Amino acid sequence: MFTCPSGSIGRQVKAFALRRLVSFLDSELGLSEFPKDESINGLQVEGKERVARIGIAVDACEYVFREAAAKGIDFLLVHHGLIWGGLRSIRGAARKRIKALLDADISLYACHLPLDWHPKYGNNAELLRVLSIKEMGEFGEYHGKRIGYWGRTGRPIPMDEFVKHVDKTLKTRSSYVDFRKKVRNVGVVSGGGWSAIHDAEELGIDTFLTGEPSHSAYHLAKEMGVNLIFAGHYATETFGVKAVGGMLKKKFGLPVEFIDSPTGL
Ligand SMILES: [Zn+2]
């Protein structure tokens, strides 16, 4: 822990070395589980050497960076980072985003697929938990690894009742198609995870919940007899960063702030 010399501001400010925070997160979040993720996971932009204030958000975008700067955040953890595969140029929107971070000396840390999959902090495990679905196993293969989970509702629930429950809990408005009527087993893959529907048939899941609507999923779901719920990409992906934020607050005792920037998509 680093402590500011007392006298300058009259109170002690807790801060941790950026390097320590980054290596802790790299291992705690299991980044090495996903070497082929399109996202460059981990520290994408390096800022101040010491971190006293942490921000969390779903998307790396100019609005979030400006809010983080206004709130005096030193370290920002996001699910969707800035660098996917590589940088092609630093111009236009990319320049503005990077400039906002560098001007404020904010570090940017991204955690994509590991934060969908993670059994403790991941979007999908958290989705089941907040929806009060008892987790039974892994679900939803994506690039050769299951990143989602499936679970049981405990009693058969009519689809419209279950969708109301999802909308209320996730503060969203889902679109859905109902091919099975009652919901007993639910498989979840947050974000744009529609292709995981193939696993629903494989595992005998009656209801598949993902984020973004996909037209291609409709006929597959109909032929498989699987209910489909599209609850929104953003709405299904705030839980992972929030879970990590809660853990960091507890472990390091630093203030953590969620910067909300819903897309409605
Ligand atoms: Zn996503």
- pLDDT class for 12, splitting at 50, 70, 90? low
**Count of beta carbons in the 10 Å neighbourhood of residue 13:** 14
Give the pLDDT score at 11: 59
Phi, psi dihedrals of residue 28, rounded to the nearest 5°: -60, -35
Q: Is 131 in contact with 123 (CB distance < 8 Å)? A: no
User: Residues 220-230: what's their mean pLDDT?
Assistant: 96
Give the pLDDT score at 7: 38
Distance 137 CA to ligand 1 centre (A): 21
Give the pLDDT score at 8: 41
Distance 72 CA to ligand 1 centre (A): 26
Distance 114 CA to ligand 1 centre (A): 11
User: Residues 189-200: what's their mean pLDDT?
Assistant: 93
Distance 63 CA to ligand 1 centre (A): 18
Residue 79 vs residues 175, 241, 253: alpha-carbon distances, Å: 23, 7, 22
Give the pLDDT score at 5: 41
pLDDT over 80 (residue 29) = yes
What mean pLDDT is reported for the chain? Answer: 93
- pLDDT class for 215, splitting at 50, 70, 90? very high
Distance 81 CA to ligand 1 centre (A): 10
Distance 113 CA to ligand 1 centre (A): 8
Give the pLDDT score at 258: 98
Give the pLDDT score at 142: 84
Distance 170 CA to ligand 1 centre (A): 15
pLDDT over 70 (residue 1) = no
Give the pLDDT score at 134: 95
Share of the chain above pLDDT 90, in %: 89
Give the pLDDT score at 115: 98
Distance from C-alpha of 147 to C-alpha of 138, rounded to nearest angstrom: 7
pLDDT over 60 (residue 6) = no
Tokens representing residue 17 in the block? 């070395």
Please, what's the b/e burial string for 36-57 (b: 16 or more CB within 10 A of its CB; e: otherwise)?
ebebbbbbbbbbeebbbbbbbb
Share of the chain above pLDDT 70, in %: 95
Distance 37 CA to ligand 1 centre (A): 12
Distance 209 CA to ligand 1 centre (A): 14
247 contacts: CB under 8 Å, gap ≥ 6:
28, 121
- pLDDT class for 2, splitting at 50, 70, 90? very low
pLDDT over 50 (residue 190) = yes
Residues 75-131 pLDDT 10s: 999 999 999 988 889 999 999 999 999 999 999 999 999 999 999 999 999 999 999
pLDDT over 70 (residue 194) = yes
Distance 106 CA to ligand 1 centre (A): 22
User: Residues 41-64: what's their mean pLDDT?
Assistant: 98
- pLDDT class for 180, splitting at 50, 70, 90? confident
